[in-house]
Structure 1
């Protein structure tokens, strides 16, 4: 696993073992899926470079931090990473250090479905939870309530190919299938932080 583009292009990222002691697998987003997602964000008329460069980013269910670190490599201002698994947190810290992003990255150990109050709303939100647990809608509701999601923010979610997803008040902008994964890009409603 590597950073695909930007100032940390080619930087290798570590990944935790597929099964940790608690039996929960961390499923890092494959390089090709991450590239497809960032290609969409970089070139779409509803996104573009300006939506990444200088953005406040949230990487929830962060795992290795690959999505947030890719955004930082491509010019995001800051990234906050929410992860609850202890093994994944160790790998996440190591990846942030390897990318020399300690100044622009903040780790919050915890559950994205029960987040703390946000220091500032984020314009770009990545959600890559375990599949088939209906975690994206629960996390979006909790994150919005805690002030993490800016009105009009881009929400990028990876879910299982056979899963459905409904987010009331969010506009579906793009959807792509990649093997067992499905990428969805949505725009949060203007009252997301209400």
Structure 2
């Protein structure tokens, strides 16, 4: 793949995944309002926000691929965004403890004013977490930049996640398998 890629994300996890894929990219950030209409399904929300992020680049970029993504955590159709503070993070992790939730990442590739969007869904099964495990994790890792208040690659994921149905990299924040195939088609 010889296309130049702009990654519109400050996520160190997404940056690392692209590096591991041997893709060359540069990072360009733009502030985007991440609100969405209330009538969308969780899958539509992830794609809507990813596309909204790409739209911020449409007039300025012509010969590069702009890659945007948005990851959400969903339990019983309740979307868990990024926590507002430590108490909110603890509340989210208690909700996820002992249950299955879905991680949905919407991806948008903008190339020559054409939008190519897709999403991936992974089912994540958490074992029962104690209040001490949850509090310790939140205090040490401060997961305030992560949907659902956790990173699968961090301690809480290592000790708490019993199994995943679907893509591991999707849970990290970018479904690399689907991304690679989509880039091949451009």
Same fold (TM > 0.5): no
Q: TM-score, normalised by structure 2?
A: 0.30
Q: TM-score, normalised by structure 1?
A: 0.29
Which structure shows the higher helix fraction? Answer: 2
Q: Flag the structure with more relative contact order, 1 or 2, with Cα contacts below 8 A and sequence separation at least 6.
A: 2
